[in-house]
Structure 1
Amino acid sequence: MRLVIAGLLVAAAIIIGVVVNVNDPGILFAAAAPLFGDWQPHVGPGTPAAILIAVLVVTKGPELARHRFALPIAYATSVAFTLSLAMIDGWGRFVTRLTTDDEYLHEVPGVTDIPAMLSTFAQRIPDFQPDSWTTHVSGHPPGALLTFVALDRIGLGGGAVASLFCVLVGSLAVVAIPRAVDNNAVLPFLVLFPGAVWVGASADGLFLGVAAVGIYLLTRWPVLGGAVLGWCLFLSYGLVLLAPLALVALGKDFRRIGWAAAGVLAVVGAFAISGFWWLDGYELVKLRYYQGIGDTRPYWYWVWANLAALALVIGPAGIQGLRRDKWVIGAGVAILAADLSGLSKAETERIWLPFAVWLLVGTAKLDHHKRWLTAQAVTALAVNHLVLTNW
């Protein structure tokens, strides 16, 4: 029944999206609504590799999940599958996704003084100023920009490195989540996660990997996990909603919660001393959001169409695996809060990656693994071949 409901939701979002785009062009600002991209069936050099990897995971994945070296094998396969999906659109598109005028790398050359950048970061968030940050930089705390500045400073600048870095870090979720939940049965489903379409390459793929590692570390070393999640707060404002998952990882041990909080506060304090106060940035980013297409996109459509996009991100197995599991509930609470906030209207297929991937935890208990893995692969391949996504 849940698959039928999800299918109807996706169909409704597509049909109504087409009708709205025909009658009121530009209001949704998503030609392939509920996904951000264009309807453009295509194949590319990554097509054969993506299909081959998918077949191998479907046939051998459940067996390899029990292998001694299951985690490194899964990580390497995840990187390969994500890159092959990206190559369906071509290398040229892959290496330029983070270099456009709206993206992070556009601002990297202008950051010549990091302390000065941090101390003036907030005041450059609002639009319609001579020195306003570009769209993605203004929409995120300074940690995201700092990441790409750091890569550039160590000689790893440019779009190719940035995109590859997002894939390599994003794929760490395939390793971190099974360790956090102590169940390798979820591995093949994480490898064929349809959300991999947007990991290669968007900065949200990077956020996905860092967040997953942070949650895992909370289960072992709370202070270190807290510090990583503290850094997440400065990658994306929305990652404050990792709190429900963090509480699941920590359990009811108040001592562990205290140590984790100390790790978070250490990072928050370091940024505050450097001149950037998170709450100031958050208030200004809400202003910037409604200065742009966030004000145009209608809440009445996206509040439910976002969930249709989510269904495509987690795939049929993710939907079928939804159950009363503490990890699934934690991710669900985060997603619901993000959706109702009105600050996540469209593009949630990438923005919600750090939460959506945890909904796959329930797939570990599915029967007929090959059937469900096939459904996941078909979903990822269909989306990437039918829609020319913006990421």
Structure 2
Amino acid sequence: MTVTEVQPGHPGHPEAAAPERRARRAGRLAVAMWAAGIAAAFVTGWWLRRAGLETEDALPPLHGKARLLTWPMLPAAGVAALAVAVLPPLARRLPWWAALAAAWAAAGLWAVALAVTDGGPAALTRPLEAPTEYAAGLGALQPDPLEWLRTFSDRLYAYTTHVRGHPPLPMLVLWALERIGFGGTGWAAAFIIAAGSSAVAAIAVTVRHTAGERAARRALPFLALAPLALWVATSMDAFFLAVGAWGTALVAAGARRGARLGGVPAAAVGGIALGALPYLSYGLLPLAAVPLAVLALSRPRPRVLAALACGLVVVPALFTAGGFWWFDGVAATRDTYLVSRGSAQRSYAYFAFADLGVLGLLTGPAVAHALPSALAALWRGARARARVPGLPVALLAGAALLGTLALDASGVTKGEVERIWVPYAAWVVVAAALHRPPARRWLAAQAVTALAVQALVLSHW
């Protein structure tokens, strides 16, 4: 028998396997740190609450209560098992647009299946019916929404908690739904779930334009089964996620070479959507890091950048003309925040690290395992000053993570980030595309994380 020597550089050579072994070890360490960080956040929160130092939340760092669900979780577990089995092959084999539609449908079904464990279909509308929510304040827009907009900052103290904490656009969106015949929390819930789950398709479109179709197909199952689905049904932040995701997808589509009409229409519409983000939530400004990463990867033509810039000013111009000055809204919201009993009483030091544990719950262990590979790709790309394998995916996830860390350090978001950070967390999940398909074990770990949180935590959203 002739023994053939395996040459250096061949995939079978021991030296070639070394980087993969290091990546696996780093991934396992990252997952251990993920679990330890989440445990530390809850243990510290329990201790602070017991000492009377953190009393705003019953289960810090989450804004919810501890509970135990058993048999009501079975349908959601069945949906998870089916999705883990079929999503990877569907994402690989279906035509592109069919794969997007399947992932969108799976994401919506997953969010609904998790939510209805809290009491059937009524659980989908219950979060929107709370006296602190937007729907409770819709009457203030009657009979003159323009007058409401002009006096929004001056009369902020009179509005419900969520209205006080946000710019006026979310209320105007719900008012517009009501005006076209889709009033009530049932229609609002359907709108939020459909929009929030559609972000799976939008993010995949962005990944396809910046990192290639193979990476986008790898990302689809992880986007659809991400634990953040727990707060897609039904938190208004899921709608914010959709606006940011589709705006970024349109920018990515417009920035690519060979786009229709030079990419100008797509970039302009994407700019309009992205320009609306600060008028949906004051905490969405750092999300601009993601479309900036898209531009850095795509290097669009000047006319595309000009169209994007024109689109970005549309919504701010309309609101300013309508009498709402964004900086006045920020100041008024800050004043109401400081005098309220809400998150102003929360400890900055505790939530600065504990909220990162919540981010870990939103994104799941598969993302933790992939982050070392993403960081390695960023490092290799920076050293080579070139596009190395995995760099586009890592840059998108890293941009979202950077925006989240900026919010965390600023103290603008202390607590309740399980919903507030949903528009950021979905982009961090893109890092899971670095797993080799079908990666069912990691996909199952994502689903189990969501099921465990739903079974053990009764969230207000």
For Structure 1 versus Structure 2, the TM-score category normalised by the shorter chain is over 0.9
Which of 100, 104, 111 matches 1:71? 100
Q: Distance in 2 between matches of 1:110 and 1:335?
A: 33
Q: Which residues in structure 2 correspond to 1:193-272 (within 5 Å)? A: 193-220=226-253, 221-251=266-296, 252-253=299-300, 254-272=302-320
Which of 98, 102, 108 matches 2:132? 102
| Counterpart position of 2:364 | 315
| Counterpart position of 2:203 | 177
Which moves more between the two structures, 342-351 or 53-62?
53-62
Which of 67, 74, 79 matches 1:53? 79
Q: Which residues in structure 2 correspond to 1:1-391 (within 5 Å)? A: 1-24=29-52, 27-43=54-70, 45=72, 47-66=73-92, 67-68=94-95, 69-90=98-119, 91-112=121-142, 113-125=144-156, 127=157, 132-182=158-208, 183-220=216-253, 221-251=266-296, 252-253=299-300, 254-292=302-340, 293-322=342-371, 323=374, 324=378, 325-367=394-436, 369-391=439-461
Q: Distance in 1 between matches of 2:170 and 2:312?
A: 17
AA of the residue aligned to 1:37: G
Equivalent pair of 1:78/1:174 in contact (CA under 8 Å): yes
Root-mean-square deviation (CA, aligned residues, Å) is 1.4
Q: 1:345-390: CA deviations, max 9, x gaps?
A: 0111110111111111111121361000010000000001110011
Unaligned runs of 5+ in 1: none
Unaligned runs of 5+ in 2: 1-28, 209-215, 254-265, 379-393
**Deviation, structure 1 residue 286:** 1.7
Q: Distance in 1 between matches of 2:138 and 2:198?
A: 25
**Deviation, structure 1 residue 92:** 2.6
AA of the residue aligned to 2:322: S
| Secondary structure at the counterpart of residue 122 of structure 1 | coil
Q: Distance in 2 between matches of 1:155 and 1:44?
A: 38
Equivalent pair of 2:111/2:232 in contact (CA under 8 Å): yes
* TM-score normalised over the length of structure 2: 0.81
Q: Distance in 2 between matches of 1:273 and 1:72?
A: 39
| Secondary structure at the counterpart of residue 388 of structure 1 | strand
Query: Larger radius of gyration, structure 1 or 2?
Result: 2
AA of the residue aligned to 2:354: A
Residues 8 and 28 of structure 1: CA distance in aligned 2, closer, same or farther (over 3 Å): farther
| Secondary structure at the counterpart of residue 384 of structure 1 | helix
Q: Distance in 2 between matches of 1:75 and 1:196?
A: 12
**Deviation, structure 1 residue 257:** 3.1
Q: Distance in 1 between matches of 2:368 and 2:333?
A: 32
AA of the residue aligned to 1:89: D
Residues 100 and 44 of structure 1: CA distance in aligned 2, closer, same or farther (over 3 Å): farther
* TM-score normalised over the length of structure 1: 0.95
Equivalent pair of 2:56/2:343 in contact (CA under 8 Å): no
| Secondary structure at the counterpart of residue 295 of structure 1 | helix
**Deviation, structure 1 residue 104:** 0.2
Equivalent pair of 2:112/2:124 in contact (CA under 8 Å): no
Equivalent pair of 1:35/1:346 in contact (CA under 8 Å): yes
Equivalent pair of 1:189/1:360 in contact (CA under 8 Å): yes
Equivalent pair of 1:28/1:298 in contact (CA under 8 Å): no
AA of the residue aligned to 1:19: W
Q: Distance in 1 between matches of 2:406 and 2:77?
A: 36
AA of the residue aligned to 1:390: H
| Secondary structure at the counterpart of residue 458 of structure 2 | strand
Which moves more between the two structures, 96-105 or 375-384?
96-105
**Deviation, structure 1 residue 255:** 4.2
AA of the residue aligned to 1:294: S
| Secondary structure at the counterpart of residue 65 of structure 2 | strand
Equivalent pair of 2:58/2:64 in contact (CA under 8 Å): yes
AA of the residue aligned to 1:210: V
**Deviation, structure 1 residue 109:** 2.2
**Deviation, structure 1 residue 43:** 4.2
**Deviation, structure 1 residue 44:** 6.5
Q: 1:3-31: CA deviations, max 9, x gaps?
A: 11111111111111111111206x34221
AA of the residue aligned to 1:234: Y
Q: 1:158-217: CA deviations, max 9, x gaps?
A: 122212211110001110011101012101101111000011111011111111111111
Q: Distance in 2 between matches of 1:38 and 1:65?
A: 36
Say how many residue pairs are matched: 384
